[in-house]
């Protein structure tokens, strides 16, 4: 797969979503309510999230993505943008950011450990990483694997597995090991799910009932 071409095509044709159209974003106002300083939205896409941070929460945000089509949409929202490749060195100085938001990107990368090392480098001491991704520990995904012997299509594309762009799969235990391997420490774990009855149990057992997990880690 040519990653750049893939995401250029994706963002060229994608319609703009509203912030709360995506259920993960239900958690972000809570997680960012006490955030201050400079924020990097890593893998920002069309900057739906960056725009919310900047306009609704008054944060200083930089959006970074591999797709120029995505960044052109971000610029139209008034977001400062930087063209990057998440698999390579990030074009920022050491200790540049107070918070890095890494939203639903880690599962797309061939070498997420490289990106995590770069995140640690550009975070200030005691800076925070807030990361979201599909939760493969979700009970419905477990049931799917048990009954079919194959992983579920967490992108909901209907494509066969060899066309998926989700190529890394995390549950909370794996995510914890991943984050700690990069020298950060998880201080918060939340889950979200709109499905009934799962949404009523997410608060108590997010590792089982959340479709999407969000972790907060400190440098």
pLDDT score for 1:
72
| Order of all β-strands in the sheet with 212-218 | 80-83, 60-65, 38-42, 97-103, 123-134, 212-218, 185-192
Does some domain include residue 11?
yes
Does some domain include residue 162?
no
Confidence band for 208, pLDDT divided at 50, 70 and 90: very high
Does some domain include residue 150?
no
Average pLDDT for the chain = 95
Confidence band for 15, pLDDT divided at 50, 70 and 90: confident
CA 200 to chain CA centroid, Å, is: 23
Does some domain include residue 67?
yes
d(CA 125, CA 138): 33
Which residue range(s) make up the domain with 91?
Answer: 3-136+168-218
Does some domain include residue 96?
yes
Does some domain include residue 189?
yes
Query: Please, are residues 50 and 73 in contact by the beta-carbon 8 Å criterion?
Result: no
The string over 43-67, giving b where at least 16 C-beta atoms fall within 10 Å of a residue's C-beta and e elsewhere, is bbbbbbbbbbbbeeeebebbbbbbb
Single out the residue of 217, 215, 218, 219 nearest to residue 24, CA to CA. Answer: 215
Does some domain include residue 40?
yes
Confidence band for 13, pLDDT divided at 50, 70 and 90: confident
pLDDT score for 216:
98
Query: Residue 149, class by beta-carbon neighbours within 10 Å (0-12 exposed, 13-18 middle, 19+ buried)?
Result: exposed
pTM: 0.95
pLDDT at position 123 over 90: yes
Q: How many domains does the chain have?
A: 1
Does some domain include residue 153?
no
d(CA 128, CA 93): 16
Q: Residues of the chain with pLDDT > 90: what percent?
A: 89
Tell me, what CATH number does 14's domain have?
3.40.50.150
pLDDT in tens, 131-185: 999 999 999 999 999 999 999 999 988 999 999 999 999 999 999 999 999 999 9
């Amino acid at each position: 797969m040519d990653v750049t071409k893939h995401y250029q095509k994706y963002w060229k044709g994608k319609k703009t979503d509203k912030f709360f159209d995506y259920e993960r974003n239900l958690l972000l106002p809570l997680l960012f309510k006490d955030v201050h300083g400079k924020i990097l939205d890593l893998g920002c896409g069309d900057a739906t999230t960056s725009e919310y941070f900047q306009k609704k929460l008054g944060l200083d945000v930089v959006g970074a993505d591999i797709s120029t089509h995505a960044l052109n949409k971000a610029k139209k929202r008034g977001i400062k943008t930087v063209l990057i490749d998440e698999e390579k060195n990030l074009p920022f100085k050491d200790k540049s950011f107070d918070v890095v938001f890494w939203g639903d990107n880690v599962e797309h990368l061939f070498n997420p450990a490289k990106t995590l090392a770069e995140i640690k480098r550009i975070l200030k001491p005691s800076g925070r990483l807030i990361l979201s991704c599909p939760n493969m520990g979700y009970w419905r995904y477990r049931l799917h694997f048990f009954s079919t012997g194959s992983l579920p299509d967490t992108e909901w594309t209907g494509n066969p597995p060899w066309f998926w762009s989700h190529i890394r799969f995390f549950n909370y235990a794996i995510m914890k090991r991943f984050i700690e391997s990069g020298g950060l420490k998880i201080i918060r774990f939340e889950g979200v799910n709109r499905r009934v009855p799962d949404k009523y149990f997410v608060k108590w057992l997010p590792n089982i009932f959340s479709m999407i997990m969000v972790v907060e880690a400190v440098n």
